[in-house]
Amino acid sequence: MEKNVLLRTTIATLLVCIIIAGLIIYYIVLLNPDSTPAQLDKILISTSSNTPNVLIYIAEQHHYFAFEGLDVDAAPYETQEEAFSTLQKGESELCVLTNDIFAEYALFSKDMQILCTLAKTPRVDFMVHKDFMIHNMNTKTVKKVGVPDYPLVEYYLDRFILYNKFIDNELELSYDSCENIIQGFINGSYDGALIYEPYTYSFFTRHQEQYMQVPGSNSRFVYYLLVARTEWVNTHPDQAEGILRALVRAEEWFKKGNEHTLRYVAHTSGASLEHSEFLLKRHQMHIMLPKELLIVLEDQTRWLIDQNDGDLQMPNYLKYIYFKPLKEVSPERVEIVH
């Protein structure tokens, strides 16, 4: 009898030990973000230096990609054009593009798919003197506006004019570099100015008391998109899903906020800690497919078609979005009806 009790006790103890050991191994291998599987699939994301890359950087630093069995490396380039070129050549699997750049490429290329947005941030800022108003007969009104001599700014300028109901030739537009525009704005040569990063930060920190932002329509915002080659997502759906799962974890970590957040933003943007704090307030980090994205893409494309003399057609952007991986990872993040 005693032997039977001892035997049962021994077996029970062994079972408990096996279960505990299994749980420990499960935690180390599957739940610990610092653990890394032995064999990882290599993936290259081509980027340009900008703040939204912080989620990719966090996923690297915390081994969220490795947890998904992926060896993801972000290769920074000077411009989005260079980053996209590596995608086209098959030298990278994914790249980060703003929606305005994506819309421009979508008119001529079908070999790309949007997986998600990484962030939303103002593209341009419309500044006026605080004693000026727009369309107010009792005050001084904006007449002369400094406009950066940069092609994409034209789109935001047109939206600004439409949103604020200016009529033809009501504004005198002067095209110049951002540096000269800011100087002319400060010395009174311009009533208003369109500016963008990194000039926005230096202007705000020095002259915020004398000037203010005015509405420029929601089109002044830009989305940063994670874009993949069509062939790659069709043949690697599990990897696409793993990347998004890792980025969702990175977003959740980012939103908790801690002493490392600013340092990560500074690393990916190349800005000082003070500048990074400014950028952090202006960026909304979201792994999503928001319904506004389609509206922004189509609005941008209509403008591009109007500016072009060729026979260009509006792309069906639903065919440029790869919905499946984000729906699998977090379906509530997919707002676009498809």
pLDDT tens readout for residues 74-106 = 998 988 999 999 999 999 999 999 998 999 999
Q: Is the peptide bond before 198 cis (omega within 30 degrees of 0)?
A: yes
Report the b/e string of 157-173 with b at 16+ CB within 10 A. Answer: bebbbebbeeeeeebee
Total Cβ atoms within 10 A of residue 133: 15
Residue type present at position 279: L
The closest alpha carbon to 40, from 3, 67, 60, belongs to 67
Most confident range, picked from 63-67, 215-219, 272-276: 63-67
Report the C-alpha gap between 201 and 195 in whole angstroms: 10
Quick one: average pLDDT of 146-152?
83
Report the C-alpha gap between 301 and 206 in whole angstroms: 36
* Residues 113/232, Cβ–Cβ less than 8 Å: no
Report the C-alpha gap between 304 and 269 in whole angstroms: 29
Residue 28 pLDDT class (50, 70, 90 cuts):
very low
CATH architecture of 125-195: 3-Layer(aba) Sandwich (3.40)
* Residues 102/297, Cβ–Cβ less than 8 Å: yes
Residues 6+ apart with CB under 8 A from 187: none
Q: What token pair was written down for 201? A: 């930060």
Report the C-alpha gap between 15 and 21 in whole angstroms: 10
In this prediction, residue 215 carries a pLDDT of 64
Q: Return the minimum-mean-pLDDT range out of 39-43, 140-144, 256-260.
A: 140-144
Given CATH 3.40.50.300, say whether it is the number of domain 41-121+222-333: no
Q: What is the DSSP letter of 334?
A: B
Report the C-alpha gap between 336 and 338 in whole angstroms: 6
Q: What token pair was written down for 163? A: 């949103």
Collapsing DSSP to helix, strand or coil, 337 comes out as coil
Residue range(s) occupied by CATH 3.40.190.10 in the chain? 41-121+222-333
Report the b/e string of 275-304 with b at 16+ CB within 10 A. Answer: bbebbbebbebbbbbbebbbebbebbbebb
In this prediction, residue 35 carries a pLDDT of 47
Indicate whether 333 pLDDT > 90: yes
Q: What token pair was written down for 14? A: 């062994």
User: Mean pLDDT of all residues in the chain?
Assistant: 83
